[in-house]
Amino acid sequence: MIRFDDVHKSFGTNHVLRGVDLDVARGTSMVIIGGSGTGKSVALKCVLGLVTPDSGRITVDGSDDDRDAFLSRFGMLFQGGALFDSLPVWQNVAFRLMRNQSKDAARDIAIAKLRRVGLKPDVADRFPADLSGGMQKRVGLARAIAAEPEIIFFDEPTTGLDPIMAGVINDLIREIVTEMGATTITITHDMTSVRTIADNVAMLHDGRIQWTGPIADLDHSGDPYVDQFIHGRADGPIEAVR
Amino acid sequence: MTALTAPLAALGATVLAILATTGRITLFAADAVSHILRPPFYTRALLIQLVQIGWLSLPVVGLTALFTGGALALQIYAGGARFSAEEVVPSIVAIGMARELGPVLGGLMVAARVASSIAAEIGTMKVTEQIDALVTLSTNPMKYLTVPRILAATLAMPVLVGVGDAIGIMGGYLVGINRLDFNAAAYLRNTVDFLEFWDVGSGLVKGAVFGFLVALMGCYHGMNSGRGAEGVGAATKAAVVSASVLILAANYLLTELFFAA
Ligand SMILES: Nc1ncnc2c1ncn2[C@@H]1O[C@H](COP(=O)(O)OP(=O)(O)OP(=O)(O)O)[C@@H](O)[C@H]1O
Ligand SMILES: [Mg+2]
């Protein structure tokens, strides 16, 4: 459903994406792993049109021209949360809902979504700046899923969360895929997340997809880069200084 | 040879950069204006900006006008005394405030207060990916952020200028009757008799133009802010400097347009 076709992107002399090819089927959960700074976040932003690829093509349902229609059934959790700090938490979560629902109905949904990410109703009226990093992340997650979109991107959903909360979030993302049939792409460095969330895994290295396959194959991929990465070894083909 | 051509090359590069920036700002302005008329409209955001930009700027604009009017009365009295024409003080204070000092000083104060805060706010939203988040929530940042600010500033600034004119004239009046021994009734009559509608009207039109420029510079530089705290700082500075310079340049052009013989 989401297809990357030889996507290239440079920032000045920094050649970040050097020909990414990737296919995400409808209703499946793709997890992208890869070293810090390899361009995982940039790849997602290319799909949204927030970053324009230098060359190559990204299609959603076979087309690449109707971005507004795509965005209307889309949700995203940003790596840094990206909450609107001028709005209270519940209005962040209900941002999209308030366009075609009454304030009270939108607020009720927002509070229900906050509960799903493990936040009590009393955070609803606080401002994002008053929350801890992990709480902000979860509010961002609640905002991403609030309108029950068909396509959701999660950029590092569990970084900054305690292990229990990370477990809750992993289960939630898995649930969204299996129960709501959403198509998701998740970026994570957390191997527990990878194993809980993924149907398929892709490893980005050196601007290309180094390896991709079903989660069951991850442990015997036969790819030295993947092996080094998932076991967190300092020595191997991936250099520690990049 | 390079020693000779280097300054020329630098000059050329600067001119090109200025032209490119002018082009980008013009496109940005055209885009913003085109969004003013197309739905969705964010009425609540507009009201908030009217309060932020208009209402909350009243104290600073009022104080500026008050002291300027007072100083103007003293200067015109001193100047007028050289030609035994002290009685021109009320009318010249009024004309000077309404045509020039009200809009220009009001515009500059609003530039300092509003262009900076718009650029810092939008710039911070840019670097913390809040603008990107707006896009993913099917909200056009141009409509949601830029249009309310530009509209609010363009509508509020003439009102601020009008209030500033009145307070400035009152500053001149207070100085006139307390320090320069004018008769209160005569001062007021002199002010009203000589002030024409277009003296005030031209100042209000200037105000609308300056308000537009202030918000435009704040939004443009905020939306194009560089990365990190340094980027936001640079955007804020650029917004205030460019808004101030544009106000003074536009003031000259408008004065030329309205009053040149
Ligand atoms: N807007 C931008 N302008 C310039 N360079 C950028 C921009 N966005 C990203 N980059 C660069 O692109 C590279 C990849 O960044 P990206 O954020 O995609 O990394 P990442 O794989 O998500 O890393 P992490 O796991 O640390 O989040 C980095 O070198 C970064 O400096
Ligand atoms: Mg990232």
pLDDT of residue B3: 78
Q: What is the pLDDT of residues B25-64, one digit of tens each?
A: 999 999 999 999 988 899 999 999 999 999 999 999 999 9
Choose the closest CB to B138 out of A79, A85, A96: A96
Please choose, from the candidates B235, B225, B32, B133, the residue with its C-alpha nearest in 3D space to the C-alpha of residue A50.
B133
Determine the residue of A4, A9, A10, A11 to mutate for testing ligand 1's pocket, defined as the one with the most ligand atoms within 8 A of the Cβ atom: A11
**Long-range Cβ contact pairs of B191-198 (< 8 A, separation 24 or more):** B191/B90, B191/B91, B191/B93, B191/B94, B193/B91, B194/B90, B194/B91, B194/B94, B194/B95, B195/B91, B195/B94, B195/B95, B195/B98, B198/B258
CB-based contact, A137 to chain B, within 8 Å: no
Choose the closest CB to B128 out of A68, A82, A143: A82
- Report CA dihedral (B222, B228, B229, B235) to the nearest 10 degrees: -30
Which chain A residue is nearest to residue B128, measuring alpha carbons? A82
* Ligand 1 centroid – CA A39 distance (Å): 5
pLDDT of residue B19: 93
Checking DSSP bridges between strand A29-33 and strand A183-187, what pairing results, if any? parallel
- CA-CA distance, B105 to B109, in Å (whole number)? 6
Nearest CA owner, ligand 1 atom 5: A11
Domains parsed from chain A with CATH numbers: 1-73+151-157+183-241 (3.40.50.300)
Q: What is the pLDDT of residues B120-142, one digit of tens each?
A: 999 999 999 999 999 999 999 99
Element (H, E) at A16: strand A14-24
* Residue A205 bridge partners (DSSP): A208
pLDDT of residue A180: 86
State chain A's mean pLDDT as an integer.
Answer: 92
Q: Which ligand 1 atom sits nearest the alpha carbon of residue A39?
A: 18
Whether omega for the bond prior to residue B141 falls within 30 degrees of 0, making it cis, is no
Share of residues in chain B with pLDDT > 90 (%): 88
For residues A118-134, average pLDDT: 94
Per-residue exposure over A186-214, b if at least 16 CB sit within 10 Å of its own CB, e if not: bbbbbeebbebbbbbbbbbbebbbbbbee
Interface probe, candidates A83, A127, A148, chain B, greatest B C-beta count within 10 A: A83
Q: What is the pLDDT of residues B58-83, one digit of tens each?
A: 999 999 999 999 999 999 999 988 98
Domain ranges of chain B: 60-259
Interface contact flag, A48 B132, Cβ < 8 Å: yes
Q: Which two tokens stand for residue A37?
A: 């700074």
Nearest CA owner, ligand 1 atom 16: A39
For residues A70-85, average pLDDT: 93
The answer, yes or no, to whether residue B261 has pLDDT greater than 80, is no
Cβ neighbour number for residue A217 with a 10 Å cutoff: 15
State chain B's mean pLDDT as an integer.
Answer: 94
Interface probe, candidates B137, B139, B223, chain A, greatest A C-beta count within 10 A: B137
Give chain A positions within 8 Å (CB) of B137. Answer: 71, 95-96, 143
Share of residues in chain B with pLDDT > 70 (%): 99
In the 8-state DSSP scheme, what is residue B231? H
Per-residue exposure over A224-234, b if at least 16 CB sit within 10 Å of its own CB, e if not: ebbbebbeeee
In the 8-state DSSP scheme, what is residue A78? B
Interface contact flag, B132 A50, Cβ < 8 Å: yes
What lies within 8 Å, CB to CB, of A159 at 6+ separation is A79, A137, A188, A189, A190
Q: What is the pLDDT of residues A152-209, one digit of tens each?
A: 999 999 998 899 989 989 999 999 899 889 999 999 999 999 999 999 999 999 999 9
Q: Which two tokens stand for residue B120?
A: 């810092």
Give the pLDDT band (50/70/90) at residue B160: very high
Contact call for residues B219 and B45 (beta carbons, < 8 A): no
pLDDT of residue A242: 61
Q: What is the ipTM of this complex?
A: 0.91
What lies within 8 Å, CB to CB, of B241 at 6+ separation is none
Which ligand lies nearest to the CA atom of residue A155 in the structure? 2
**pTM, entire model:** 0.91
For residues B95-110, average pLDDT: 96
- B6 Cα to chain A: minimum distance (Å): 25
Cβ neighbour number for residue B215 with a 10 Å cutoff: 31
pLDDT of residue B153: 98
